[in-house]
Chain A
Amino acid sequence: MRDPAGAVGLGIVVVFLVTAVVVGIDPKILNYNPFDFSFYNELRPPSLQYPFGTDNFGRSILSEVLMATPLDAFVSIAVVAFSLAVGGILGALAGYFGSKADEAIMRLTDIFLSFPALILAVGISDALGPGAIHAMVALMVVSWPTYARLARGDCLAIREQAFIKAAKLSGRSVAYTLRKHILPNVSPSLIAYASVNTGFIIIAFSVLGYLGLGAQPPRLEWGMLVFQGQSYLRTAPWFPLIPGAIILVVTVGFSFLGDALRDALDPTFKK
């Protein structure tokens, strides 16, 4: 691959997804028992036996991080898929039809975009009540407008081009034009953005988890782990810092992947 960063990103994402799937399908593979308190092993620093150290109950942090992976993966992918579908379609429609539809949809996105995203997500999540599903819904609501904006922009850009007009003139139905011509040209930037966005959704979801609004115990989630660990920052810094670092690594991976995707999918990019 010409792009080392992209390769690294792809690697990280693949590891992340594979872990998520494997652990998601069969959690017992990790032999993780939340009640396996081992008071002798409390708060041990990373070692060969416990690569990420242990938490305040003596449980291996590596296991906890791995156990939490499917949840973060699932939520972020679900949110992005939803936003991609809803935002992409609404945006393309807005761009294609213009005037009234465009304005209406744009007003709607404006309302959402005028909030700091995280704050709105916090508000919605809180109103719905604690729980991973509610947090996921909150993030979905907050994320789709950006995709709509992107799709609309791209759509507007290509709308005037010859092949679109040709399709219109040849009497094709709107749905057909959308499907065969508009969407393939709009998708590249959306997909690249989706990849980068996934990382940020993970961060957002973990912040919600940190605040107590996302996943609830005994469900494990990276943000939650950080919250639990922060009282031990002084004595056992690996406890809150390592899960946080994992979040960082995964997000960076998605960012690299997104950049590489954008470069790869964009026909006008000269290398």
Chain B
Amino acid sequence: MIGVTFITFIVAHAIVPNPVKAWIGLYSNPQIIQAYTQRYHLDDPLWLQYIYYMEGLFTGNWGISPTTGRPVLSEIADYFPATFELVVFSIILSFIIGVPLGAVAALRNKTKTDLSIKSFYLLGVSSPPFLVALLLQFAFAYYFNLFPSVGEISPNIPPPKPITGMMVIDSLLAGDWPAFISTLDHLVLPTLALTILIFGLFTRLTRSAMLDVLNKDYVRTAKAKGLNQYYVDVRHALRTALIPSITILAVAVGQLLGGVVVIEYVFGWPGIGSYTVEAITTSNFPDIVGVTTIFAIGVVVSNMVADILYAVLDPRIRI
């Protein structure tokens, strides 16, 4: 983790000589530049800046965003729930779709079903995120006019009371039906886009895990005992095959976070991804540094969650 902050810092600071000019724009004069430079410690030697940065990191002071003047951390906190909502739903959906497909592919190994499933997920994984997003947007939002194309909620519906910050959950909790329907509606396309990109991971893994397990002795024993085929497949084989999927949860989140930037931008989803894009286009360094750190933290956390789930599920491993 130390390495992570170090690299983030280097990345954000070491290369740009004077970002202040970019922030202030055309109306700069020497006094303002001086004030900003001092405030962001830009005239201090690099290692001193790093100390300030680490200090800020731990005390929750991630700097002030140059464009809006608000603390970076509070901005990230504002945008975070939307992304969290999107990521969680996408992972769940990918799992629900991906794992059974993988199991089916394994059971029907070397048949046409297997082949078509494989092609399907290959297309999903190999697609550039913007293609998936734009394609979905075009097909469902414009052509078929089924789902709204941008935003989290329709403009004419008042947003629900922010409890968790996640609009779908909030509207459910508040019993606010119009808002709930609207947010759910808006959630569909981005989630679908992310799912298409990710489900292949689960499918491929489940398929090969199932194939391994299906050949193992204890499965063959069960079959020889004449147990009902379904019982054998689901109870014995699938359970073991689920384990790798948990492990790959962290990897999935990593990939997801990569795609989330583009998907959020295309669908106008007000999350960290859009925030990142905006930070990049405005050369907004504290923002970028903050965002990169958040992403890294996200990955570390999901790794930990995966480890915990793994230990819970596999009776052979006890912490």
Contacts and interface: CB of A to CB of B under 8 A. Distances in A.
A124 interface: yes
Contacts of B253: 116
A95 interface: no
Report the contact-size class of chain B (Cβ under 8 Å from the partner).
35 or more
B258 A116 contact: yes
A156 interface: no
Contact of A129 (B15, B258, B299): B15
B16 interface: yes
A73 interface: no
Interface in B1-46: 1, 3-4, 7-8, 11-16
A207 B266 CA distance: 12
A111 interface: yes
Contact of B295 (A119, A233, A244): A119
A128 B17 CA distance: 11
B3 A107 contact: yes
A91 interface: no
A114 interface: yes
A116 B254 contact: yes
Interface in B208-261: 253-259, 261
A119 B128 contact: no
Interface stretch (B175-183, B273-281, B307-315): B273-281
A114 B299 contact: yes
B129 interface: yes
A248 B300 contact: no
A244 B131 contact: yes
Contact of A237 (B122, B138, B280, B303): B138
Interface stretch (A49-57, A170-178, A208-216): A208-216
A9 B127 CA distance: 16
A120 B137 CA distance: 27
Contact of B255 (A116, A124, A206): A116
Nearest to B289: A123
B134 A241 contact: yes
B299 A123 contact: no
Contacts of A115: 4, 7, 254, 292, 295-296, 299
A155 interface: no
A122 B15 contact: no
A116 B280 contact: no
A241 B131 contact: yes
Given A111-B4, A111-B7, A255-B122, A244 B257 contact: no
Contacts of A211: 261-262, 277, 280
A21 B303 CA distance: 43
A255 B299 contact: no
A198 to B, nearest CB: 12
Interface string A53-82: 000000000000000000000000000000
A114 B277 contact: no
Interface of A: 107-108, 110-112, 114-120, 122-124, 126-129, 199-200, 203, 206-207, 210-213, 223, 226-227, 230, 233-234, 237, 240-241, 244-245, 247-248, 251-252, 255
Instruction: Report the 6 A-B pairs with minimum CB-CB distance, sorted nearest first.
Output: A118-B258, A244-B131, A111-B3, A251-B126, A116-B257, A116-B254
Interface of B: 1, 3-4, 7-8, 11-16, 122-123, 126-131, 134-135, 137-138, 142, 253-259, 261-262, 266, 276-277, 280-281, 283, 288, 292, 295-296, 299-300, 303
